[in-house]
Structure formats: structure tokens, C-alpha cells
Amino acid sequence: MNKKSLKLIYNNSLVGPSIFFALLFCIPLVGSNYTLAILTMIGFYALVCIGLTMLTGYAGQISLGHAAFYGIGAYTSAYMTATLELSPWLAILVGAFISALVALLIGIPTFKLKGYYLALATLGFGIIVYTAFKELTSITGGSNGFFGIPAIQLFGFEFVTDQSFFYLIWLFVFIALIFSRNIIHSRIGRGLRSIEGSEIAADAVGVNLMKYKLQIFVISAIFTSISGSLLAHYVSFINPTLFTANTSIYLLIMVIIGGLNNIWGAIVGSATYVLLGELLKHFVPVFFPNIGGEFEIVFFGLLLVLTLIYMPNGLVPQFIKIAGKFQKKERPAPISFTIDTQATGGEVND
């Protein structure tokens, strides 16, 4: 890990995010409603993935059950605003609180486990929560779904248009991004990076692994829950099939494709997933008129596999490399002192 990449990781300037979001917020002025809808969808996933990237990339934990938090946020908001007729913002808070609590309950016993076992535990937990959504019909409506979730509003302004929701969700994403970067650069973040380097060493130095992992898990659960709550208001109808194990898997896929080592991977990954779907929808019928969505599924799976084999660190590092090529030429390498140590074979260097 040379100095250059360290600088990239610890880049704490606000310039990057500000430019990005400034550009982003200009889009509603020129984009169609359809474009905005796609970008809004990306926004929902991005908010979830920011938390998940931190969890997977920085804390090294795999979660295959995050759809559960998504659903908890969504159903809490649905229930509290439609059935109990309370404020949507209160509902978002309550949803986040419940998710945080559940994350703590699941996290404490689970983080003692290693690698794959955590993935399985979260998978199991995710399915249990999904079953709860299906079975608690008086609250959630069960498989029939929950129809009629009211729009979210702030001081009388209702977020119903594509433009308004676009701004709303991406504002949340922006806040989440800044918040996450602050965490990464704080003691927690450094502690986590040390875990990623070597758990044993970190432990030896007194880094409290459990505490940090738990904190990140809870934070990721909160982000996901907030996204779920906003989703409920956006689509106005939710049902358990939105929060299955498959959903959790796709979220993880987005995170991996984007790149685990950089928080921007969350946005890149979500964008890739949604845009790829749209692209396939657009172009597959042109080349293969009689094939339906199945081909898209195959293509997506294959692409995923290929990407992971040949670009295991995800897309963001590739973009950084390309960006690097456009920067000023590198200064010639300084004269290097290399001591040739040929330890084997006893050959002498000429």
C-alpha cells in the first residue's frame, strides 16, 4: 500500500462529493421523468449500499440478510403513517431505531463467528424476518401487501413528483456519504482498517473488534431502514416479495461490483445494477426479438461472474486507474537502490 493509494483512501476533502452532487442536482432540469425515476431507484439502493459497503469492505463482514432492515423500515413507515396516521418522519426514526435494535441483537452473537458463518446467520435471520412480514397479516397485510401508503411531506410540502423525490433521496445519500467518510477517518475507521489488515495484530494492539464491527453493522442497518421507509412512500404499495433473500443477495452484488475498498463503490455498484437492467431491457429485444427477461437474467449472471473473476476489486478501482491516466505524466522514477539478494541457488548477480 504505497503513499499514493493511502492518499486516495484517506481523501477527506469535500470537493469530490460536492462536485458530484452539484452535477447530480442539475439533472432534474434536463432529464425526463423516466430518467429521474431510474436515478431515484439508484438512489434508494445507493443509500443501502453505502452502509453495506462499510460493513463488507471496511469491517469485513458479509451480510446476506439486509433486505430485512429494508423491510423493517418500509413496513414501520407504512404501518405508522397509513394505519396509525402518525408523522412519516417519526416513522422513519422509529423504523431506524427498531432496525438498530435488531442489528444489535443479531450482531452480538454473530460477530464472534468467522467468515462464511456470518453470511449464513444473516441469511437465516433475513428469511425469518421475511416470514414475519408474510405471517403478521394484521400489521403488514401479509402476501396481499400494504396498499395506500401516504406521500411523505415536510411542512405541508408533499413529495409526490419525480423531481421532488429525486432530490429527497439523493440528499439523504449525500448525508450518508459524508457521514460514512467521517466514520472511516475516525478512530472507528482506523480500527476497522487495522482489522482488515490483520485481526490478530489489531486485537493485540487493543482494538476492540466487536465494538467496531457492531457499530458499523448498526449504522448500516439504520441507513438501510431509512431507505426502506422512503421507498414505502415512493411506491405507495409494498409487499413481502420486495424483501426476500434474493433482494439481500442483489444488494451484496451491487456492493461487490462497485468495489469494496471505496465508499463510492456503493453508488457505482447501484448505478451499474439498475442501468444494466435498463440497458438490457432496451437492447436485447433489438437483437433477439423473441427472448424475454430470461436472457437478461443469464446475461446479468454471466457478467457478474466475469466481472468478479477479472475485476475482483470492483469497478471503482478501474475508474481510478483510468482517471490516473489522464493526470499529468509521472515523474521519472528516482534512482533506486536495489540490493539483489539471490538467496536461493547461490547465483551471483552479474
Partner 1 sequence: MKKTLLSLFLLMGALLLVACSSSGEGDASGTESSGDSIKIAGIFSASGGAAALGEPEMQTLKMLVDQKNADGGINGRKIDLVTYDDKSDQNEAILSMKKALTQDKVSIVIGGTTSGNSLAMLPLAEQNQVPYISVAASKQIYMNENGQARKWVFKMPQDDQQAVERILQYLKDNNLTKVAWLNVANSFGTGGHEEFVKHMENYGVESVIEDEFEATVTDAKPLLTRVKKANPDAIIVWGTVQESAVVIKNIRELALDLPVLASHGVATNQFIEVAGDAANDVILPTGKLLIADKLEASNPQKELLIAYNEAFTAKYNKPASTFGAYAADAFSIATKAIEAKGDDSAALRDYIEQELGEYVGLTGTFNITADNHMGLSPDSFAMVRIVDGKWTLEDK
Partner 2 sequence: METFSQMLQLLFSGLTIGAIYALIAVGFVIIYNVTGILNFAQGEFAMFGALISISLVKANLPLWLAIILSIVIVAVIGAVFERTAIHTARKSSMTTLIIITIGVSIAFRGIAILIWGTQAQSLPPFTDNTPIKFLEAVLLPQNLWAIGLAIVILIAMMYFFNYTFTGKSLTACVVNPFAARLMGINPNKMSLLAVVVSAGVGALAGTVIAPISGASYDMGMMLGIKAFVAAVVGGLTNAPAAIAGAFLIGIIEAFTEGLWSSGLKDVVSFSLLLLILFVKPEGLFAKASGKRV
Q: From the list partner 1, partner 2, none, which binds 180 (C-beta under 5 to 8 Å, kind-based)?
A: none
Instruction: Decide: is 276 part of the binding site for partner 2 (CB under 8 A).
Output: no
Question: Nearer to partner 2 by C-beta: 96 or 315?
Answer: 315
- Single residue of 30, 204, 323, 333 touching partner 1 by CB under 8 A: 30
Instruction: Decide: is 34 part of the binding site for partner 1 (CB under 8 A).
Output: yes
CA dist 184 to 20, 136, 189, 214, 313, Å?
Answer: 20, 38, 4, 14, 19
Q: From the list partner 2, partner 1, none, which binds 34 (C-beta under 5 to 8 Å, kind-based)?
A: partner 1
- Single residue of 142, 164, 175, 185 touching partner 1 by CB under 8 A: 142
The count of residues in the chain is 350
- Within 293-312, the residues that bind partner 2 by CB under 8 A are 294-302, 304-305, 308-309, 312
- Within 247-306, the residues that bind partner 1 by CB under 8 A are 272, 275-279, 281-283, 285, 292-294, 296-297, 306
- Compute the distance between CA of residue 225 and CA of residue 315 in angstroms, rounded to an integer: 26
- Within 231-250, the residues that bind partner 2 by CB under 8 A are 245-246, 249
Q: How far is the CB of 34 from partner 1 (least distance, A)?
A: 5
- Compute the distance between CA of residue 247 and CA of residue 67 in angstroms, rounded to an integer: 6
Instruction: Decide: is 145 part of the binding site for partner 2 (CB under 8 A).
Output: no
158 strand-pairing partners? 153
Q: Are 174 and 21 in contact (CB under 8 A)?
A: yes
Question: Nearer to partner 2 by C-beta: 120 or 178?
Answer: 120
Q: Are 252 and 265 in contact (CB under 8 A)?
A: no
- Compute the distance between CA of residue 300 and CA of residue 246 in angstroms, rounded to an integer: 14
- Compute the distance between CA of residue 19 and CA of residue 172 in angstroms, rounded to an integer: 16
Taking Cα atoms as reference points, which of 186, 252, 246, 261 lies closest to residue 224? 252
Question: Nearer to partner 1 by C-beta: 93 or 275?
Answer: 275
Count Cβ atoms below 10 Å from residue 346 Cβ, excluding itself: 6
154 strand-pairing partners? 157
Q: How far is the CB of 255 from partner 1 (least distance, A)?
A: 17
Burial label for 297, CB within 10 Å (0-12, 13-18, 19+), is exposed
Residues that bind partner 1 (CB under 8 A): 30-35, 37-38, 41, 134, 137, 142-145, 147-148, 235-237, 239, 241-242, 272, 275-279, 281-283, 285, 292-294, 296-297, 306-307, 310-311, 315, 318, 322
Residues that bind partner 2 (CB under 8 A): 56, 62, 109-110, 113-117, 119-121, 123-125, 127-128, 131-132, 134-135, 245-246, 249, 252-253, 256, 260, 291, 294-302, 304-305, 308-309, 312
